[in-house]
A and B are shown apart, each in its own frame.
Chain A
Amino acid sequence: MKSYDIVIIGGGPAGLAAAVSAKRNGIDSILILERDKELGGILNQCIHNGFGLHTFKEELTGPEYAQRFIDQAKELEIEYKLNTMVMDISPRKIVTAMNRQEGLFEIEAKAVILAMGCRERSRGALNIPGYRPAGIFSAGTAQRLVNMEGLMPGREVVILGSGDIGLIMARRMTFEGAKVKVVAELMPYSGGLKRNIVQCLDDYGIPLKLSHTVVDIKGKERVEGVTLAEVDSKGKPIPGTEEFYTCDTLLLSVGLIPENEISNGMGVEMNPVTSGPKVNESLETSIEGVFACGNVLHVHDLVDFVSEEAATAGRNAAAYVKGERRSAQGHEIRFLPVDGVRYTVPVTLNTARMDENLTVRFRVGAVYKNCYVGVYFDNERVIHRKRQIVAPGEMEEIKLTKEQLLKYPDLETITVKIEEA
């Protein structure tokens, strides 16, 4: 059986940044396993601009951003296998994978970095009544068809869900000559970034109907139209508010789910809120030497933050392989997300293992205006940061320092909450 120091599952932005970071931290024996025919992952179909402002201080498109990391990985002579599907990883880090050249094979890893990304939530998860005609696509599928295969899914489009991919596709399909009639969002707020509403909908006069959903799909062979209705505060359609839109295409942009079949198979402990692994400050899962980063850990809005997170995972995996990881003296401090904060990544930290600085990322469960992000070390408030607006569609972060934490040797719980003014 072949063995590597670090095996990285997935060659998208997270896997590439983790590999580059691990290599720069002194590990030579690295293998990336990628199921697609090229590296770069989802960035290959994200042809719009706005990537890389944090990482490269310039505005790049998705494929350009991916190429920067692919170039770095190639320069560093990091090994990778394309068209290779990982089937299983054992708790002892034996990776079972397959491809056309080698068939089914096993690889032994000292450390594993999970970087599989996420999938789109599909129609099946939504309970929309009606037939199952052609013309219903997830927004990401439509994005792949238009941008990579040069195919148009349809001419008259309604979009359900205001996730970023749906917003981006509203503009993209408009450029390709389609008429995007409306974007309907079940929640009273958008799930996407505000900037995408401005530059993808407002710029082209595409209406966004909040608190609306699809209650019927007309058409047996092909979509002929959909009926939208307003929903009440519990998400139930309000009778009498139905409106019919003729269309031949319905795009769904209704959320992303980390793809963790392999993590579950290994027995990694999961966070039910993120559907990703529970990790400590080193982005290490409940299995020692198994790290996670990017959208498989929790769904991100910005690839720049994926790269940053993945670099941390790569650095820690390298330290683990080299046996340089500070032994876990001290104790695990637990994060407690409450009052509007849905989760934190990481879920625990140990000051003996942590770097000088730690970025804690989280999401809120509703829109809050003129509020404060409050961080408590046990009962003492240590951060009280004013925010004009926080929304579920935009990831938030707080920064903690080791210096600050060492002043609280008996600290047990770090509470993160939203405090309204």
Chain B
Amino acid sequence: MSSVWFFLLGLMLALYAILDGWDLGVGVIYLFLARTNSQRRLCLNAIGPLWNGNEVWLLFSGGALFMAFPRVYAVSFSGFYLPLMLVLWLLIGRGVSLELRGEIDNALWRSFWDICFAAASTLLALLFGVALGNVIGGLPLQANGAFQGTFSLLLNIHSVVVGLFAVALLALHGANFLCWRTEGTLHDRSREISRRLLIPVCVLAAGAPLAAHYSRPGFMDSFARYPVADLAPLLVLILLTSTVYFSIRGRDSAAFFSGGTLILTLLASAATSVYPYLLYSNINPAYSLTVTNASAPYNGLVSGLIAVGIPMLAVIVYQVVIHRLFFQKLTGREKDGY
């Protein structure tokens, strides 16, 4: 049962990474991509009404982690104290920028929020990547399960590589999203940017496992233990290739969807490499928090599954419906404005 929750949590985080990933990605390329106010409005209208619902997946993952693996929640949130507070401030900054930019029709006001939005999105992508890198690489968990995550500890070569990878990949995802959603100049510029991002994405995609090997040599072990999981890295390779191909050929929706699935398979590979650990102690593996020793008891997990897991499916369905409802190619002639 705790493995089911491990899977569900991974799925929630992956959904977050894909859905809010394009919002963050648009933020990363925003200042380079969109020069005029009308282009910027178009970008924001593309992520416009639904970014909020996307971000909720992060809250949802937090709540599910709290419920299913209380010790992991407690140890990681208090251990990553300052970085998490930074994440909170950045999430506040991004949300406020998106909501407030359109409130006043003034160039200075807009520029200020444009910069906030871009900076917050970029730093968030970087920090999420750094956090993931540290979870894969292991943390100095003591015997009581606690650690103190200072920046000097958390910013190591491996996590920074993963962080940069996250920034590049989400930027690509955001660019592909805009190609898919828009027409005209903005579309062409996004396509141009997405092509330029292909090389950094491929280089970092190769660099991330190498760096992981450097920080935690045994990180590939579980692939040997669960041969079926080898499918995930294999799919990563295929999808990376297809994303590159579709982006170069300008096949907008194919590039976007294969990029989104790429994020899913990358996170699946990361989850496999971590499993059965949730937080790996690089001081002594026996201090690690695993799906068994850190989970809530069986009946808590079952009632959680009924109370949360089932509605989650309904949520996915109605999110799809709502996204379809709002889907249209944006041309810049719409009246509404962020």
Interaction A to B: no
Chain A residues close to B by CB (< 8 Å): none
Chain B residues close to A by CB (< 8 Å): none
